[in-house]
Structure 1
Amino acid sequence: MKTLTKEMQAAITPDMALDLLKQGNARFVNNLKINRNLLQQANETSDGQHPFAVILSCIDSRTSAELIFDQGLGDIFSVRVAGNIINEDILGSMEFGCKVAGSKIIVVLGHTKCGAIKGACDHVEMGNLTALLTKIRPAVDEELTITENRNSSNPEFVEKVSEINVKRTVRSIVERSPILRDMIKAGEIQIVGGIHDITTGVVQFHEVESL
């Protein structure tokens, strides 16, 4: 598998970038990982990197974006934080990845059985985690279809909140970053949410966000 060059990155459209991720996830699910020389890729990217995607995912140890999308060194910018929430530091990182470094797609990736989502559902308060979970709480409040057992003991409630949290994060990125919003409007990049099933490995993408 060739290491991405600036020319190769430039030739990738936002739609192609999404397709590359879908193909990679299909390989992961079917245990057909591409054979890569990672040391060679490390050497070839030592003077510069040209990732085609920025992926915001959870810190969960089972959701490594490089693995579940079968990507190598230099292919993606991986941003990880519990609950795949957004803040200005992450927004700045995304703006760098797309506007400066040339990535073509932003993916907000939630996952099933998420501990951060469960914590928000249970109103957990613990040190600095309290402030992080506060950013997820609006997704808990927005889920109105389930009226009983609105806590982590209800798997259906947890997964519904996870879906809402991903969609809220996507909207927040578009609303809070004029740079990324303008790039989306111009068709230079696209943004999409998705959920990774940690049992099957399958990523279900949402509809691409359009402005």
Structure 2
Amino acid sequence: MSAHPGDCCTTTQTDTQRRTILKSALGLAAFTAVSGLPWMMPELAEAAALTKEQRDAMTPDQIIASMKEGNERFRTGKPTPHDYLAQKRATVGGQYPAAMILSCIDSRAPAEIILDTGIGETFNGRVAGNISNDDLLGSMEFACALAGAKVVLVMGHTSCGAIKGAIDGAKLGNLTGLLDKIKPSVDATVFNGDRSSKNDLFVDAVATTNVRHTIEEIRRRSDVLAGLEKDGKIKIVGSMYHLVGGRVEFLS
């Protein structure tokens, strides 16, 4: 037995403190390796957002590959630690997004999160059924022709309510006209089986057709975007987000 009863408690406290300090140091080192700690070092805040030099150095294919890598991080639960305050500060003076994403308004399919991107990395247009219209086409032309984005990504998703509504011929105020734009994809979908909104396989098949149809509409109705793609300055691609599993499937 110790001649100094307080020695035991003192030793235990010291060991606990050492373990805490060690864990903190290891955690700090790991986080530094991943993120560069821009939140602790304001002078590095610009590194938190995509710069013009970084964006301009990438090809459309490299940007698409980066999107796929981001989705893999999201899908596996290993997203990049985002310092949104640093990204906000870094983009106050300008923005240099690499891509324009046209996706559905579905609350379960936020493109920025699904692709693990930060503030200033992508333009995002959202509308039920990820259709194109004059306003969205104008926005995409701004994103690519004026702001320098190199990829237009049309993203549909599984179990889409807008697709189901178009299949059912739903009528509701201004929504009726929107769903009318999806109906050609319903008719164009080749499918053997129950062609109803209760058949998930048919709904997803129509959603895929609708993505391809939107891409065709973009090329047909925007000489600006079609010209940029023809010159190899941008790529217009489609994808489907799978609610189950979280995978973004890029369409060929």
Return the TM-score normalized by structure 2.
0.80
Partner of 1:76: 122
Deviation at 1:5, TM superposition (A): 1.1
- 2:176 corresponds to 1:130: yes
Partner of 1:188: 233
Q: 2:244 aligns with which of 189, 196, 199?
A: 199
Code of the aligned partner of 2:217: S
- Measure, in 2, the Cα distance between the counterparts of 1:12 and 1:68: 21
Deviation at 1:144, TM superposition (A): 3.3
Q: 1:171 aligns with which of 216, 223, 227?
A: 216
Moved >3 Å (runs of 4+): none
Deviation at 1:145, TM superposition (A): 2.5
1:43-122 alignment runs, 5 A limit: 43-122=89-168
Deviation at 1:9, TM superposition (A): 1.1
Flag structure 1 segments of 5+ consecutive residues without an equivalent: none
Give the fraction of aligned pairs with identical amino acids, expressed as a percent.
48
SS of equivalent to 1:51:
coil
- Measure, in 2, the Cα distance between the counterparts of 1:145 and 1:129: 26
Structure scoring higher RCO (CA < 8 A, sep ≥ 6) equals 1
- Measure, in 2, the Cα distance between the counterparts of 1:56 and 1:144: 24
Which structure: greater helix fraction?
2
Partner of 1:29: 75
Deviation at 1:8, TM superposition (A): 1.1
RMSD: 0.9
Partner of 2:196: 151
- Measure, in 1, the Cα distance between the counterparts of 2:117 and 2:210: 25
Return the TM-score normalized by structure 1.
0.95
What CA deviation, in whole Å up to 9, does each residue of 1:7-29 have, x standing for no partner? 11111110011001000000000
- Measure, in 2, the Cα distance between the counterparts of 1:30 and 1:130: 38
Deviation at 1:157, TM superposition (A): 1.1
Code of the aligned partner of 1:114: C
- Measure, in 1, the Cα distance between the counterparts of 2:102 and 2:110: 10
- 2:117 corresponds to 1:41: no
